[in-house]
Structure 1
Amino acid sequence: MLINMLKIMTIIKKYIDKLVSILCILILASMTILVSYQVISRYIFNNPSAISEVLSRYLFVWLILFGGAYVFGLREHMYIAYIKHKFSQKAQIIFDMISEIAIATFAISIMILGGYNSTIRQMWQLDSALQIPMGIIYSAIPLSGALIIFYFIYNELSLYRNLKLLK
């Protein structure tokens, strides 16, 4: 059952990874265009654009949140491995599982629950430059938290399978 569930999640993960990577690429491309426009309008035309400045700032936050979730899903996030590698392979997997649980706890409590509450509370407040609800901007927090939880489940199942293979 575990193997079948992991196979299904691997297929879903592949599509989610592709979607998130494309989203991050599009955000970065948009930021590049917006910042270039901002520089040109400020220094050549002497007429800075408030919209491009604010939008690029919000896109940068979205890039960090979704990029962080994506890197977590790839298990390429930073960690200090020196002490972990002093233990047996079984202990290393257990440490990885505990680390994943700590990150998932943060994602659920702060990002999903706290982010959702902030998003809902800020739906009535409009951004002064873009004239869109701030809740739309804040929605990146619970969305990236949900991505982290999906990756957490996938990673835990993979680690558990690896742990069972060691026995």
Structure 2
Amino acid sequence: MPGAKKVLDKVLAAGCVALFAVLIATVSWQVFTRQVLDEPSGWSEELAKHVFVWLGMFGAALVFSERGHIAVDVVVRRFADRFQRVAAAAVQSAILAFAVLALVWGGTRLAVVAWGQSLTALPAHLGIVYLVMPISGLIIAFYALYHLALVLRRAGAPVVGEGPAEPNQER
């Protein structure tokens, strides 16, 4: 599982870099056509919005992989290791449930409903925009299972910042 996580991390990071490059190019084109040519591009604003949504969802999944999201754990840190592990397992289980129910199941339903709707300025369907929800939901679910397995095997720190988040990894 650690090997699959490393590969997924690299693919996700490369995807985020590529999406960010597309976002910069698209916004630069929008500014150029608006300010220099005085004829704003109709498609670039819409593409930038949709690329930003994809970048945000994939970026959130990548940060979740590194356990980098904000966690209010000031109370949990005061308890014994056993309670910290129970709390960490509960949190990862809740994240897994959210990822599967809201992102994968709900996102799939939303993408299917929106698939028939055309985008205004782009030759694509709105369902493509919403397709990022189930994709990122599957990625987040994988990471939640990975972190849950670490907590249950006692291989990682239950609270981030109290030791290695993964086996043989320094913080």
TM-score normalised per structure 1: 0.89
* Distance in 2 separating the partners of 1:41 and 1:111: 36
Matched to 1:160, the amino acid is: L
Contact 2:26 2:44 (C-alpha < 8 Å) held by counterparts: yes
Q: Structure 1 residue 98 and structure 2 residue 90: aligned?
A: yes
* Distance in 1 separating the partners of 2:155 and 2:37: 62
* Distance in 2 separating the partners of 1:78 and 1:12: 25
Q: Structure 1 residue 151 and structure 2 residue 139: aligned?
A: no
Matched to 2:14, the amino acid is: I
Q: Structure 1 residue 18 and structure 2 residue 10: aligned?
A: yes
1:81 is matched with 73
Q: CA RMSD in A?
A: 1.3
Contact 1:90 1:163 (C-alpha < 8 Å) held by counterparts: no
Write the mapping of 1:102-117 to structure 2, written as runs, cut at 5 A.
102-117=94-109
TM-score normalised per structure 2: 0.87
Structure 2 residue runs without a partner (length 5+): 157-171
Task: Report deviation, 1:74.
Answer: 1.3
Q: Structure 1 residue 36 and structure 2 residue 31: aligned?
A: no
Q: Which segment drifts farther, 84-93 or 23-32? A: 84-93
Post-superposition CA distance 1:19-60 (Å, at most 9, x none): 000000111111111111111110111111121111111011
Task: Report deviation, 1:129.
Answer: 0.6
* Distance in 2 separating the partners of 1:49 and 1:30: 15
Q: Number of paired residues?
A: 156
Q: Structure 1 residue 118 and structure 2 residue 110: aligned?
A: yes
CA shift in 2, pair 1:142/1:38, >3 Å: same
More helix by share: 1
* Distance in 2 separating the partners of 1:19 and 1:97: 27
Q: Which segment drifts farther, 82-91 or 60-69? A: 82-91
1:133 is matched with 125
Task: Report deviation, 1:163.
Answer: 7.1
Contact 1:97 1:156 (C-alpha < 8 Å) held by counterparts: yes
